[in-house]
Amino acid sequence: MATRRTFLQDTAAVGAGLLMTNAHSADAAENAGYVDKLTDADGKYAAAPLPYAYDALEPVIDARTVELHFNFHHKPAVAAANKAEEALARACDTNDFALVKHHEKELAFQLSSHILHTVSLIHI
């Protein structure tokens, strides 16, 4: 079980990483002419619409694969990141830290997937 100290240290490290990622990602997006947003107006993680048609990558990647990847891989990762963040907030509010390590790992995995998918859109 995580102690309060390790929980705070881990949370601070993740927060610092997110701040650095957001700053770098924003600069790269502006330079590419594509506005990538990891979050919506409410601060929840959100998958922006693809900046191109599903068939834009053919013949290398067919339209159906792009559609499936976006709708059944990227978007669910965003939903899972939001769910994990909400679970961590609930744990803090209720002082129930039994599953914090699980939710931290889930947030790290799903949010990194969202970040990498969003950043990769800039370079296509």
Q: Are 47 and 114 in contact, with CB atoms under 8 Å apart?
A: yes
pLDDT for 120 equals: 80
Q: What band does 119 get if pLDDT is binned at 50, 70 and 90? A: confident
State the pLDDT at residue 17. Answer: 55
pTM for this entry: 0.69
pLDDT in tens, 68-105: 999 999 999 999 999 999 999 999 999 999 999 999 99
Q: Give the pLDDT band (50/70/90) at residue 122.
A: low
Q: Give 107's pLDDT tier (boundaries 50, 70, 90).
A: very high
Q: Can you tell me whether residue 41 is helix, strand or coil?
A: coil
Write out the two tokens for 12.
């601070």
- What's the mean pLDDT when you consider all of the chain? 82
Domains and CATH numbers, the chain: 4-122 (1.10.287.990)
Distances (CA, A) of 82 to 17, 47, 65, 85: 17, 11, 25, 5
- pLDDT band (50, 70, 90) for residue 47: very high
DSSP codes of every residue in 72-85: IIIHHHHHHHHHHH
Confidence of residue 14 (pLDDT cuts 50, 70, 90): low
